[in-house]
Structure 1
């Protein structure tokens, strides 16, 4: 038996060869590794990779068959993505001239959720099998481009229903596509987009979406303002420079219809994990005038008259023209490029949470409170400082300055790559100075979503943090993944999640992580330049001994 030390040294050598693309040496060394430890699927996968690069497809196939039995850890998404391993098995068979086996493996890959079915038609790896009857049958589900208007929309509806059934981790609801297909000639294009959106919104999938192409002259028309929902009502929080006089106005009507009626009508179109996430997404749907018009909520598809309470408390009607743009799922923060936000004009010095919300991550020392405020807005590595390097700098600062309190602000964190966040979580759980009741506070809100939700769930499980703000925009356990595909007619872009993330206990069926200190955002606080979450935290600090 190979000693433990020799096994570890062999793995290190094999990894070094693979990282340098020294594939012959890598293959030989990985063979030694799997001989000593045949039960680790990750090692077999690395052996398959090396053999692929050496064009040893028979050897790669043998290694992949072991991987399919043993599985791999989630270290590389290109390996663990649905159907990916079976796709590679099919590739090996194709290179070896085993046409029947290649097509059978491709069918297995598609049945397992392989994401790029449309791409198989032009995949050079399978040019040798493209004439096989089962291959043509497999691609028969790939929609044809260049169809007429009615046939194009019918194909879109059928293709979307097929992808929902194939991708959705949970059993898909009843999809009444046949009635919609029959109704296509009677429906406007915008109304069909509404129906496509409803199909995806049924999935209880906050990552789901239907988007028209940016700049589509008919379907992509957007109002030149951003809205936000507060307990007091719906307000304009960002606008183009020519409409900056509307910043801070309360919206009461859309073409004479009360805001509550409009929101109720749009509810079935909103993809969400919970009701708080819906509050963030629905305000973007309010900007899509062709969609409002298709639902008979407005008089025209390209303009809306808003009934407003202006900031000076005058009641006024303002007609806004919509212009082609790119649909977004959430408001851009603090405002889209070239626009103005309400906080830009309402106060000379915005509160901390609004100062750098477009930054990836940053922190500020609060010396009087012996605290650090850390805002974590996206889980992506910044080109100039990775999350790992930032976490190291943050905790070195905390130790060097004898910091007693840390605020982690996740209220703007809409996600990213949760594989990058482990150094930060390790720092939080391992800090004796910070990981104590009353020393660690986490601010959450409706935009805490996806990988941001994962971070909140991990902090809740591993620390004594006190959560502050409003509920998160997602669940501890949720369906979510962004792997969009395009429907052939009109270039409609769709996302249907194909992964269930169990970040908490299997029996954790909460709709959100709830704050212990409930301090929701209000328009009154925004107007006054106050942060109710930080006020709640500093109130606790004032009441507790150092």
Structure 2
């Protein structure tokens, strides 16, 4: 901290904030961080598929980039960029968490600027052709591929569900705890009127909220439905974090739910709950984790699904979601 204080006069505001974020990240848990004001991001969203980094969403102006692989930013290969971003990512969670956070940081112009990386992005399309684009931040909505699977539709909605008639199933996309009570009531009213043989709850893009609300409005009603093994599936992955991790474990332990997907992006034994304070000089808000939870063994790196399935780059390009496909066809 003393070293940063000495450098502050020579740093831009963005570089100073990034340095503070690095200090918070050094604590190690995902609930301790410096909150930055919302700012426009680069108009693309990435996802790691093994060691391949692909564009999974983009604005209308850059939609042709969806499905391409990002190979470099500026003059640096993406693996090197990934390595430099480690200083801003808490290392006390797990490898999935690091992957999920790195792609978010790559979308932040201030972060790349602070690291001295120009926003010149180099992509390779599925035909092997290289495309280089200088990107600027923007606020336009991100779109998915036209052939995107069910799980990547309606990406801006916090909670929605759909009947998959040919499988006698209901698929529930649960991305946010906001408005959960009303959304859950709608779901169970619908299930009473049109029952289904299997229920699939997708937590793969749920970054957390109030796990007590999840227990009250989802877990208890689902228990009352009396679903048994082979009828209830919970989809999890690297973005399943905090409260959604807790509720995924709840489903696994208290119902006969089958967890499907990647290992969850958080340690089940770790610090959670945000305790907030304000830095006096900058006015920035800082969260510090305040409570240790023990939802699994202390040495567990993650809570692992019953059926682990990794989505490949080829799956994504083909418009397939093998995790959801498995749950629908198991």
TM bucket normalised to smaller: 0.7 to 0.9
Give the aligned partner of residue 319 of structure 2: 529
Which of 432, 437, 451 lines up with 2:229 in the alignment? 437
How big is the shift at 1:227?
Answer: 2.0
Query: How far has the Cα of 1:294 moved from its partner?
Result: 3.0
Structure 1 counterpart of 2:182, from 361, 386, 396: 386
Q: 1:446 deviation in Å?
A: 1.4
TM-score by length of 2: 0.87
Greater C-alpha radius of gyration: 1
**1:404-443 alignment runs, 5 A limit:** 404-421=197-214, 422-432=216-226, 434=227, 436-443=228-235
Q: Map of 1:38-187 to 2, 5 A cutoff?
A: 177-187=1-11
Deviation of 1:424 (Å) = 1.8
Report the Cα distance in structure 2 between the residues aligned to 1:237 and 1:472, rounded to whole angstroms.
20
C-alpha separation between the residues in 1 aligned to 2:6 and 2:15? 14
Distance in structure 1 (CA, Å) of the matches to 2:113 and 2:119: 9
1:291 alignment partner in structure 2: 111
- Aligned: 1:250 with 2:69: yes
After superposition, give the CA deviation of every residue in 1:51-109 in whole Å (9 maximum; x if it has no partner).
xxxxxxxxxxxxxxxxxxxxxxxxxxxxxxxxxxxxxxxxxxxxxxxxxxxxxxxxxxx
Q: Answer 1 or 2: which has greater helix percent.
A: 1
Structure 1 residues 241 and 480: CA distance shift in structure 2, 3 A: same
Aligned to 1:518: 308
Distance in 2 (alpha carbons) for counterparts of 1:315 and 1:292 = 22
Partner Cα distance (1:454, 1:394) in 2: 26
Q: Is the 8 A contact 1:517 1:536 kept in 2?
A: no
- The alpha-carbon distance between structure 1 residues 295 and 232, as it changes in their structure 2 partners (threshold 3 A), is closer
Number of residue pairs aligned between Structure 1 and Structure 2: 328
| Residue 239 in structure 1 maps to residue 58 in structure 2 | yes
Alignment partners' CA distance in 2, 1:393 and 1:288: 41
TM-align CA RMSD: 2.7
Q: CA deviation at 1:262?
A: 0.8
Offset of residue 483 of structure 1: 4.7
Distance between the aligned counterparts of 1:430 and 1:214, measured in 2?
A: 41
Take 1:499 and 1:224, find their aligned partners in 2: how far apart are those partners?
A: 36
Cα distance between partner residues in 1 of 2:111 and 2:282: 16
Gap change, CA 1:338 and 1:189, over 3 Å in 2: closer
Q: Which structure carries more relative contact order (alpha carbon 8 Å, separation 6+)?
A: 2
Structure 2 counterpart of 1:316, from 124, 131, 136? 131
Aligned to 1:143: none
Counterpart CA distance in 2 for 1:380 and 1:231 is: 32
1:281 pairs, out of 83, 93, 101, with: 101
Aligned counterpart for 1:365 among listed residues 139, 143, 163: 163
Cα 1:240/1:407, change in 2 over 3 Å: closer
Deviation of 1:439 after TM superposition, in Å, equals 2.1
Provide the secondary structure at the position in 2 that maps to 1:341.
coil
Which structure 2 residue ranges, 5 or more long, are not aligned? none
In the alignment, structure 1 segments of 5+ residues that lack a partner are 1-176, 216-220, 326-336, 541-546
- Higher-strand-fraction structure: 2
Contact 2:43 2:142 in 1 (8 A): no
Change (3 A) 1:372 1:392: closer
Higher mean alpha-carbon deviation, 413-422 vs 360-369, is at 360-369
Corresponding residue for residue 449 of structure 1: 241
Distance 2:157 2:232 in 1: 22
